[in-house]
Chains A and B, each alone.
Chain A
Amino acid sequence: MPNDTDLCYMSIDEAQRLIKQGKLSPVELAQAHLRRINALDGQLHAYLKLTEESALAEAAAAEAEIASTGPRGPLHGIPVAIKDQYDFAGIPALVRIPPPETSEDAGAVAKLRDAGAVVLGKLMMSGLPGKHPEPRNPWDTKRTSGGSSSGSGSAIASGLCMGSLGEDTAGSIRNPASCCAIVGLKPTYGRVSRRGLAPLGWSLDHSGPITRTVEDAALVLTAIAGQDPRDHTTSPAPVPDYTSALGQDIKGLVIGVPQHYLDILRPRLNDEIAAGFDKMLRDMEALGAKVEKVTIPSMEYASIATGVLYCCEYMAGRNLGLQAHVGIASDTRRARVYFGALTGAAEYLQAQRVRRRLKREMDETFRRVDVLALPGHLQPAGLIGEMTPIESLVTQLSPDYNGPFNLSGSPAMTLPSGFTNAGLPIAFQLVGRAFDEQTVLRIGHAYQQSAGWHTHHPEV
């Protein structure tokens, strides 16, 4: 039997194969994770709340059911953990101010439970009201694991769960993935239910997986995707098996690089991340893909539009309790309320017009290319406490590689492409056509298998 570390760093696919063969018990797998969490989380602060008792009960139920009738699917008996922004039955998201009296499982959480996943608990996130320790980056515990799905980044990279749900309003799934050398997939807007997800910006919020491998992201997405009759923004489009295109080659596929936008951000881009991005493109060409420069002019203003919509929607969503919210919320969330309150209707609509134009330009571009590629982040993970709250706010309002695709609602996946000389993760991002997560996953998987960065784990 593998030791706890080996067990906890298995991919979901490997673990499920052993479970199916009767060689791995879901209860033992959950216990191994709980032991690891108890040993390491005092240092990493990934978890906000462990639901140990219910997790062990779910694992025991999974074990009995699998022994009797076989696994329901690839997530049956697999330990996962969820960003606190999602409600659980009886445990509402802490970021909701004031806290509701009752809560039920969020749509995506309910789907994971239906798939038989074992929910270990709720993970920390940036911007919670009150004082909470900041999750640590397992690659260097003096550093942040990114945000706002910071607990997910820390937990996945350190083997404290096998799969996680994050939420992405302006990069919050992809940024922790970049910082922690893991995979973050923001699906198309409407692909995954956001019911029971504490809203930050209604038209920008996306629910999606954070995992260690592309296959695992595909497995989790297959489980959580689909129409939710109680979330009117979800699409009725059929849900494919997102693992079906994995393993296919990428010969002849076209990767577009929005060079003009990369040039605008180049002065703020870390040189090692830039070099890593160029190397990744050469590796893609070696795999048979074609790399072409493209121009999407509205990307230049997309981060501004994203920021304005975020602030207005955040403020409007708290319209009936603004003063109470301002009294409790974190610096960044308070500032969003102020900015939203001072933004005019014409400015909000101007941001929507930018969104419309960006969508049109991207649709035109996707007639010629299969995906877009960009760096995942501007800088490697920063030191904890390095930035003042004001500097942090300025960073959040500054253009980056993520915000444009919250505005367009496009599927976007970040995955590792190496490490800096100091051993910090470097990442890149693939962006696809609306509802074409399959091509994004296919290309990401081909790169992952060739580059092998997913086999590197931090020494915690």
Chain B
Amino acid sequence: MSLSVGDLTLRLEARGISVSQEEIERLLPVFELYFKDLETLRSLDLGEEESALIFEPGRES
């Protein structure tokens, strides 16, 4: 996957976070790893598995 520093900067700005291009460049290898993780997550076939919007992980049976 090829991530653009400019694109990441703009997307963060759109979410109210101003970050220097140098910072993004420095962290680029980690952004790439995280985006790869997101891609893996999106590709999982979880069948009928639901996501409860209200949950208490320790108290579920």
Known contacts A301-B44, A304-B40, A350-B41, A189 near B58 by CB under 8 Å: yes
Q: Enumerate A331-356 residues with CB–CB distance to B below 8 Å.
A: 334-335, 337-339, 341-343, 346-347, 349-356
A434 x B41 contact (CB < 8 A): no
- On whether the beta carbons of A304 and B30 are closer than 8 Å, the reply is no
Most buried by A among B11, B34, B52: B34
Chain B residues contacting A355 (CB-CB under 8 Å) are 57
Q: Which of A189, A335, A435 touches B30 (beta carbons < 8 Å)?
A: A335
Shortest C-beta distance, A431 to chain B (Å), equals 14
Whether B41 and A354, one on each chain, are in contact in the complex, defined by CB atoms closer than 8 angstroms, is yes
User: Number of A interface residues, CB 8 Å?
Assistant: 47
Q: Are A394 and B33 in contact (CB under 8 A)?
A: yes
Contact (Cβ within 8 A) B18 A323? yes
Whole-angstrom CA separation of A409 from B60 in the bound complex = 10
Could you mark each residue 40-61 of chain B with 1 if its beta carbon is under 8 Å from any beta carbon of chain A, else 0? 1110101001111001111111
CB distance from B13 to the nearest CB of A (A): 10
Give 1 or 0 for each of A374-403: 1 = CB within 8 Å of chain B CB.
000000000000000010011001000000
In angstroms, how far is the closest chain A Cβ from the Cβ of B32?
10
How would residues 5 to 30 of chain B score, 1 for a CB under 8 Å from any chain A CB and 0 otherwise? 00010011001111100010011011
- The answer to whether A341 and B61 touch across the interface, beta carbons within 8 angstroms, is no
Residue of A nearest to B47 (CB): A357
Is the CB–CB distance between A338 and B57 below 8 Å?
no
Task: Select B29's contact among A191, A360, A390, beta carbons within 8 Å.
Answer: A390
Distance in angstroms from A119 CB to nearest chain B CB is 26
Task: Determine the chain B residues whose CB is within 8 A of the CB of A354 once the complex forms.
Answer: 41, 44, 46
Interface residues of A in 183-236 (CB under 8 A from B): 188-191, 203, 233, 235
* A236: nearest chain-B partner, CB-CB: B59
Q: B56 to A341, Cβ gap below 8 A?
A: no
Whether A454 is near chain B, meaning CB under 8 Å from some CB there, is no
Would you call A359 an interface residue if the criterion is a C-beta within 8 Å of the partner chain's C-beta atoms? yes
**CA–CA, A278 and B52, complex, Å:** 38
Contact bitstring A113-153, B, C-beta under 8 A = 1, else 0: 00000000000000000000000000000000000000000
Once the chains bind, are B44 and A190 in contact (CB under 8 Å)?
no
Residue of B nearest to A399 (CB): B37
Complex interface: chain A residues within 8 A of B38 (CB) = 308, 343, 347
Q: Are B58 and A434 in contact, CB atoms less than 8 angstroms apart?
A: yes
Task: List 16 extra interface pairs beyond A301-B44, A409-B57, A434-B58, CB under 8 A.
Answer: A189-B56, A190-B57, A233-B58, A338-B8, A338-B27, A341-B12, A342-B34, A350-B42, A350-B46, A353-B46, A354-B41, A356-B51, A357-B49, A393-B30, A394-B30, A397-B37
The 6 closest A-B pairs by CB, nearest first: A189-B58, A190-B58, A409-B57, A352-B51, A409-B58, A341-B15
What are 20 contact pairs spanning A and B, CB under 8 A? A189-B59, A190-B58, A235-B58, A304-B41, A322-B15, A322-B16, A323-B18, A338-B19, A339-B34, A352-B52, A352-B55, A353-B49, A354-B41, A354-B44, A390-B30, A394-B29, A397-B37, A409-B60, A434-B59, A434-B60
- A interface vs B, CB < 8 Å? 188-191, 203, 233, 235, 301, 304-305, 307-308, 311, 322-323, 326, 334-335, 337-339, 341-343, 346-347, 349-357, 359-360, 363, 390, 393-394, 397, 407-409, 434-435
Residues of B within 8 A of A (CB): 8, 11-12, 15-19, 23, 26-27, 29-31, 33-34, 37-38, 40-42, 44, 46, 49-52, 55-61
